[in-house]
Amino acid sequence: MVVVDLGDIDACDCEPVAAALEQFTPLSEALRPGLHAFGARGPSRYFGGEQALAGLVAQASAEAAPSASRVGVGMADGLFAAGIAARTAPPGTSAARPAAVAGRHGAGLPASAAVLVVPPQRSRRFLAGLPVVSLADPVSPLHADGKASEALLDVLWRLGIRTLGDLAALSEADVLGRFGWPGLVAHRLACGLDDRPLQAEAAGEDAGVEAEIDPPADRIETVAFMARALADGMVSRLARDGLDCVSVGIEAESDSGHASRRRWRHELRFGAADVVDRVRWQLEGWYRSPERPTGPVTLIRLTPCVVSPADGRQLGMWGERSEADERAARAVARVQGLLGAEAVTVPRLAGGRRPADTGSRVPLHAAGAEASPKKAKGAKKAGKRTNAAEAPWPGRLPAPSPAVVLARPEPITVTDCGGAPVTVSGRGEASAPPQQLTDSTGRSRTVVAWAGPWPLDERWWRPSARRRQARFQLVLDDGSAHLCVLESGRWQREATYD
């Protein structure tokens, strides 16, 4: 992730910077005027490495915004670390630029430019030395909720936690138990884990909204007024679907045929008023840029780009918050404080053939991150939200599914009427009808009904991950029914139809 920080700069002077960044990537986003971000993986490979890219970006930004008090370019794994790097890079570090850049551009970088590249996987070490107040920086997701983050920082300070390193050294469960959700976010940020998706993905064609402005508007306020109604509709529609808009594309067209397209990112999530602010900033910049429209604005279009399941708590399941939702969230935070963050999981359907694969348990803090980029990508390709769970999975056993799926399958023995273990031949035939099932405690029960064997051969293309098993349904004389499998000569009870 690359973040460009231009210090305190007027909204209208940012337009040339955004245009300049387009030569590096088509997906640059503005967090606010003077703070731009884009994913670095592709561009850094193309422009000859991270240092080279950072140098070039600093050069281009400084040229595009001569009025900026400073030009900071930061590069790190996550948005937060990159943003902090950009904002704290000491001026004069432009010496870090590689010779190739200096050679190509002769003049080198202006004195006001500062570049700081944090190597991959080093975000945590880089952040460790910084004061905890960095958590309230505009690049942090905690910035949006000023009151909560102020309270959090105040308490952290009074507890003697002065640096992000101190915070990262605490156990996640303790921080969560004491501070709830803001604490968990702060802790993850301090550890260099930034959950916000880096890759911008469109939410789908149909999610965008647009309005023709008739009569065409020549005042920014008129356009902003139209945008307000559009943004209200878009945000509430996404909220109804349980989604948050993290990034929005804004397009404006004038009757002279000019168009302005920009992408804006919010540190937490867009509300309608935030979208309108961005529209206003973008238009101000557009009207003063060299490509300014000569006629009034005729069309405004909003496209939500990155949508993540609603709520910063990343439960991924709370839409509009009601009192009951808040109550449940508090209870979850308390339980996580008691047992650790990993103890609370959310059930999710997953694709697979074996009972253990069809349902997965996603840790709460991962539930949001897991859902957003992947699903958005799938949505783009298939045109609607689909996932592996809805795929047919030939070979999986039909409903009813077992109500108890053992986390650790229990080793058992299954014997025929002669007392010999039941085996399955290479042709998928049982050696004899199963007669007796002995569980791991040594208790035996008679098999009264059985079905199978159903062979399953998964991932045969990768020897290390290959699974070959024969599945049986066994009903015992006490009325219980089990799903038992024979895999490389060993019998196991995988699930019970309890």
In the complex, the residues that contact another protein under the rule CB under 8 A are 242, 316-317, 324-325, 327-332, 334-335, 338-340, 342-349, 355, 358-361, 364, 397-407, 430, 433, 449-452, 473, 475, 478-481, 495, 497-498
Crossing angle of helices 272-288 and 220-240, in 10° steps, is 140
What's the min distance (Å) between Cβ of 444 and another protein? 16
Q: How far is the CB of 189 from another protein (least distance, A)?
A: 23
Measured distance CA(463)–CA(346) in Å, rounded: 32
Q: Which residues have CB under 8 Å from 102's CB, separation 6+?
A: 108
3-state secondary structure of 131: strand
Which residue lies nearer to another protein by CB, 303 or 358? Answer: 358
Pick 41 or 240: Cβ nearer another protein: 240
Min dist CB 393 to another protein, Å, is 11
CB 477 within 8 A of CB 494: no
* CA–CA gap between residue 370 and residue 235 (Å, rounded): 22
Which one, 93 or 496, has the nearer CB to another protein? 496
Amino acid identity for residue 224 in this structure: A
Using DSSP's 3-state secondary structure scheme, residue 224 falls into: helix
CA-CA distance, 358 to 397, in Å (whole number)? 11
Q: How far is the CB of 15 from another protein (least distance, A)?
A: 41
Question: Closer CB to another protein, residue 142 or residue 344?
Answer: 344
Instruction: Return the amino acid letter for 451.
Output: A
Q: Classify 460 as helix, strand or coil.
A: coil
Give the max Cα distance, the chain: 94
Q: Give me the least distance between CB of 347 and another protein, in Å please.
A: 4
Instruction: Report d(CA 295, CA 287) in Å as an integer.
Output: 10
Query: Is the preceding omega at residue 98 within 30 degrees of 0, hence cis?
Result: no
Q: How far is the CB of 93 from another protein (least distance, A)?
A: 43
Between 172-190 and 323-339, two packed helices, what is the crossing angle to 10 degrees? 100
Choose between 168 and 397: whose C-beta lies nearer to another protein: 397
Cα–Cα distance for residue pair 90/66, rounded to 1 Å: 19
Asked if residues 336 and 328 have their Cβ atoms less than 8 Å apart, the reply is no
Instruction: Give the residue from 1, 6, 93, 10 showing the smallest Cα distance to 284.
Output: 10
Q: Which is nearer to another protein, 74 or 316 (CB)?
A: 316
Q: How far is the CB of 83 from another protein (least distance, A)?
A: 32
Work out the angle at residue 189's Cα, subtended by the Cα atoms of residues 183 and 192, and round it to the nearest 5 degrees. Answer: 145
CA separation for the pair 209, 232 (Å, rounded): 11
Q: How many whole angstroms separate alpha carbon 18 and alpha carbon 264?
A: 11
Query: Going by C-beta distance under 8 Å and a sequence separation of 6 or more, which residues neighbour residue 297?
Result: 213, 216, 217, 218, 223, 252, 253, 254, 255, 283
User: Which CB sits closer to another protein, 29 or 494?
Assistant: 494
> What residue type is assigned to position 481 of the chain?
A
Among residues 90 and 347, whose Cβ is nearest to another protein? 347
Output the smallest distance, CB 254 to another protein, in A.
Answer: 44
CB of 385 to another protein, least distance (A): 14
Nearest distance in Å: CB 171, another protein: 11
Q: What is the CA radius of gyration of the chain?
A: 29
199 versus 431: smaller Cβ distance to another protein = 431
Nearer to another protein, 191 or 329 (CB): 329
Structure tokens at 415: 């014997």
Contact indicator for 338, 177 with CB cutoff of 8 Å: yes
Distance of alpha carbon 264 from alpha carbon 194, whole angstroms: 19
- Shortest Cβ 360–another protein spacing (Å): 7
Copy the structure tokens of residue 350.
Answer: 């997953």
Please state the closest distance from residue 202 (CB atom) to another protein, in A: 24
Residue number, 84 or 485, with CB nearest to another protein:
485
Q: Among residues 121 and 386, whose Cβ is nearest to another protein?
A: 386
